[in-house]
Amino acid sequence: MYLFHGKSKMIEEVTTTMERLQKVIAHAGIASRRKAEELILQGKVKVNGQVVTELGVKVGPQDKIEVDGIPVEREEPVYYLLYKPRGVISSVKDEKGRKVVTDFFEGLDKRIYPIGRLDYDTSGLLLLTNDGDFANLLMHPRYEIEKVYIAKVRGIPTREQLKQLEKGIMLEDGMTAPAKVKMLSLDKRKQTAIIEIRIHEGRNRQVRRMFEAIGCRVMKLKRERYAFLDLKGLNPGDYRELSPHEVKQLRALALSGGRR
């Protein structure tokens, strides 16, 4: 019994080290899994010197992979949560020399990049990884990951205007999905309001444009939550690594269409 158990465990370990080629390419941060599949079909990928043009091929840790003649450096996937400050670009580099989110990860020997983005003037929760497959999963429009924002706006919206946000607002790139909106506080003297808004889309400057559409200009904007993740214990510029359980939860949440 002991020898059989040991043998089966060894077989299981060998099996689990074999992964689909497109997944390995995505994990290396070269492309999303879908793009990796296109590269394979186009004959741009080699395994151990041989061109691979079929999907479904599995590779192990010792296999040498090349994309467009460049060896793939296989990294262990990492997942981080950053409290992005205002005045920082959600990118790995900026042509104007402005501070970017990866500047907070000095000394990290892995090539990470943000999942989605937060505007230059928006602070809050941002995820970064080197796992292209994971990033693509969370950013895909069909996966409804809820994001919670706190907005300070100029102008106090009426209940009817808030209902417009809840039903959906017509923007230049189409109608927004229904949102959940809550007035947290207001200052009649200054004519400002603080509002919580929950959305599951990720269009460019979406929250700001939604408020502009009802006549309120966003003065400050912060992403407080992403799915079940929050910023507790972090200050602007701080980051922490996601636990394996949190990563597993995010995958499951995305695949369930955002339903917990």
Claim to verify: residue 154 and residue 222 sit in the same structural domain: yes
In a domain, 216, yes or no: yes
Catalytic position from the list 63, 94, 119, 187: 119
Structure confidence at residue 3 as a pLDDT band (50, 70, 90): very low
Claim to verify: residue 114 and residue 239 sit in the same structural domain: yes
Claim to verify: residue 132 and residue 95 sit in the same structural domain: yes
Claim to verify: residue 206 and residue 89 sit in the same structural domain: no
Q: Using the structure block, give the residue that is written with the tokens 């005045």.
A: 87
Claim to verify: residue 130 and residue 245 sit in the same structural domain: yes
Claim to verify: residue 99 and residue 66 sit in the same structural domain: no
45 against 74, higher pLDDT: 45
User: What is the model's pLDDT at position 30?
Assistant: 81
194-203 average pLDDT score: 94
In a domain, 18, yes or no: yes
pLDDT higher than 80, residue 222:
yes
pLDDT in tens, 26-54: 877 788 888 999 999 999 999 999 999 99
- CATH number for the domain spanning 106: value is 3.30.70.580
Claim to verify: residue 85 and residue 123 sit in the same structural domain: yes
User: What is the model's pLDDT at position 13?
Assistant: 37
Start-to-end CA distance of the chain, whole Å, equals: 41
Report the candidate in 210, 142, 223, 213 with the shortest Cα–Cα distance to residue 179.
210
- Distance from C-alpha of 88 to C-alpha of 239, rounded to nearest angstrom: 14
User: What is the model's pLDDT at position 1?
Assistant: 30
Q: For 69-155, where are the E strands, in sequence order?
A: 70-71, 79-84, 113-114, 122-129, 147-154
User: What is the model's pLDDT at position 132?
Assistant: 79
- Distance from C-alpha of 52 to C-alpha of 41, rounded to nearest angstrom: 8
Residue 187 is given by DSSP the state E
- Distance from C-alpha of 51 to C-alpha of 67, rounded to nearest angstrom: 10
In a domain, 188, yes or no: yes
- Distance from C-alpha of 135 to C-alpha of 143, rounded to nearest angstrom: 12
- CATH number for the domain spanning 46: value is 3.10.290.10
- CATH number for the domain spanning 201: value is 3.30.70.1560
> In percent, how much of the chain has pLDDT > 90?
66
- Distance from C-alpha of 42 to C-alpha of 54, rounded to nearest angstrom: 10
Claim to verify: residue 222 and residue 151 sit in the same structural domain: yes
In a domain, 32, yes or no: yes
Report the candidate in 177, 175, 174, 196 with the shortest Cα–Cα distance to residue 185.
196
> In percent, how much of the chain has pLDDT > 70?
92
Q: What is the domain range of residue 158?
A: 147-226
Q: Domain tally for the chain? A: 3
Q: Under 8 Å CB-to-CB from 203, ≥6 apart: which residues?
A: 171, 173, 176, 209
Decide: helix, strand or coil at residue 241: strand
- Distance from C-alpha of 111 to C-alpha of 126, rounded to nearest angstrom: 16
Claim to verify: residue 151 and residue 215 sit in the same structural domain: yes
Structure confidence at residue 229 as a pLDDT band (50, 70, 90): very high
Taking all residues of the chain, what is their mean pLDDT, rounded to a whole number? 88
Residue type, 133: D
Claim to verify: residue 118 and residue 130 sit in the same structural domain: yes
Structure confidence at residue 259 as a pLDDT band (50, 70, 90): low
Residues 96-135 as b/e (b if ≥16 CB within 10 A, e otherwise) read: eeeeebbebeeeeeeebbbbebbbeebbbbbbbbbbbbbb
pLDDT in tens, 82-102: 999 999 999 999 989 999 999
Residue type, 10: M
Structure confidence at residue 11 as a pLDDT band (50, 70, 90): very low
Claim to verify: residue 166 and residue 181 sit in the same structural domain: yes
Structure confidence at residue 189 as a pLDDT band (50, 70, 90): very high
For the question of residue 119 being annotated catalytic, the response is yes
Residue type, 196: E
In a domain, 48, yes or no: yes
pLDDT higher than 80, residue 10:
no
- Distance from C-alpha of 117 to C-alpha of 224, rounded to nearest angstrom: 14
Report the candidate in 155, 161, 142, 126 with the shortest Cα–Cα distance to residue 239.
126
User: What is the model's pLDDT at position 15?
Assistant: 39
pLDDT higher than 90, residue 258:
no
pTM of the entire predicted model? 0.76
pLDDT in tens, 126-170: 999 988 778 888 987 777 799 999 999 999 999 999 999 999 999
Identify whether the C-beta of residue 213 lies closer than 8 Å to the C-beta of residue 155.
no
